[in-house]
Amino acid sequence: MHMLRSLAVALTLASTIAGVRAQDWAQWRGPARSGTTEAFTAPAAWPDRPKKVWEVTVGSGHSSPVVSGGRAYVLSRVGDDEVLTAFDVQSGREAWQQRYRASYQANPAAESHGKGPKSTPAVGGGRIFTLGINGTLSAFDAGTGKPLWRKPFTGEFDASSPDFGASMSPLVDGPLVIAHVGGNKSGALSGLDAATGAVRWQWKGDGPAYASPAIATLSGTRQIVTQSRSHLLGLSAADGRLLWQVPFTTAYDQNIVTPLVFGDLVIYSGVDQPLTAVRVSVATGQWSVREVWRAESVPMYMSSALVSGGHLYGLTHRNKGQFFCVDPKTGTVLWTTRGREAENAALIASGDLLIATTTEGELVVAHRDPAKFDVIKRYTLAESPIWAHPAPAGRGLLIKDAEKLAYWMF
């Protein structure tokens, strides 16, 4: 009987890894940076308690794990070092580890968030790219961990990272890796050669904020959409040329939310700023941006929203955290929860499910329902807040809490 149970576990893990490889979660918020996935296989019935397949202590930081080719990668801090570690998803066995010195003094206003890192790695083309808390961009061979190149950007701008440390997650786009580097007063949204680190193009119109860029096609033009320190903007993905921008600022320059593209709408928000949709279009070579709607009651601070099944879901910081659903065509708020959910939540949509980890150490599983917030299960998975985004992998989720990375299977 013991042998049969062992065989069943092995077969389950094997099918899980096959599912992982079917669609990797290789960067911030998944394949399209949209928070949606086909890489998670829901159980027929949700258990009272998920199975912790493995757990390892990796160090501190809010950087999220990513999954590619059956491996999990996590960037963390151990002492004064930033550490990048690769694990086998199935077993939790360490495949390789690299580290470099990254001394950092946290801004007093952000001491509770620690010394980072906060940026999520990106895997592409056999390489993995990291942006450290000080703004150091590094490339490693994803298979072996061999360092390929490193750029600290020291002396190129007023500072190498903004007030609360670099949080933007790099984006791999074919032969380029895209990162917004620099400090408060100056910086550059840059396209660098993924193989060498050589700069191929730069836009120096504004310094970085804490948001991560996404790629979308608007009015037939493939572009990089992001929040900078004081703007929402779109750059040509081909050459980094500015296409359009609109002023956007938040208290203490905390632009954090990853913009969401829905059709020809760009949806964005920030602390105490309404959830807003603008329509981006071009005519006779001139780009224009027109506001379509705004939802005053559901601003977002640090949590990024997603669209699934034709509806937008997110977490507002109002009332100590409320999950909400909005019609992305009109901005009509369809429902909000009572509040006190969490300071922050990281959301995933998979099939007809919404899955969220929270700063209450919870995993919340709900039906994706525009009529109500229909919770299936709430699990407490950590004694510490969970800031990092979960990474789906087959029938399981990789979850990083304050110090540990665990693989939970359902």
Q: What is the structure's pLDDT at 92?
A: 98
- Per-residue pLDDT reduced to its tens digit, 132-190: 999 999 999 999 999 999 999 988 999 999 999 999 999 999 999 999 999 988 999 99
pLDDT tens string 17-54: 444 444 799 999 999 999 999 879 899 999 999 999 99
Give the pLDDT of residue 384: 97
> Could you count the other beta carbons within 10 Å of the beta carbon of residue 172?
18
CATH architecture of 2-409: 7 Propeller (2.130)
Q: Quick check: 378 pLDDT over 60? A: yes
The pLDDT score that the predictor gives to residue 281 is: 96
Question: What pLDDT is attached to residue 3?
Answer: 44
Average pLDDT, the chain: 93
Question: 113 falls in which pLDDT band (50, 70, 90)?
Answer: confident
Closest by CA to 336, choosing from 368, 366, 387, 370, is: 370
Note the pLDDT of residue 211: 97
Residue 360 banded pLDDT, cuts 50, 70, 90? very high
Of 107-116, 164-173, 249-258, 273-282, least confident by mean pLDDT is: 107-116
| 48-64 burial: b if 16+ Cβ within 10 Å, else e | eebeebbebebbbbbbb
For 127-145, how does the pLDDT look when each residue is reduced to its tens digit (9 = 90+)? 999 999 999 999 999 999 9
Q: In Å, how far are 244, 257, 367 from 227, measured between CA atoms? A: 12, 8, 30
Residues 6+ apart with CB under 8 A from 26: 66, 67, 68, 122, 123, 124, 172
pLDDT at 39: 79
195-239 pLDDT, tens per residue?
999 999 999 999 999 999 999 999 999 999 999 999 999 999 999
Is residue 58's pLDDT more than 50?
yes
Q: Give the separation between CA 171 and CA 67, rounded to whole angstroms.
A: 15
* pTM of the entire predicted model: 0.93
Residue 355 has pLDDT above 50, yes or no: yes
pLDDT value of position 321: 98
Domain boundaries, the chain: 2-409
pLDDT category at 11 given cuts 50, 70, 90 is very low
Quote the pLDDT of residue 22. Answer: 47
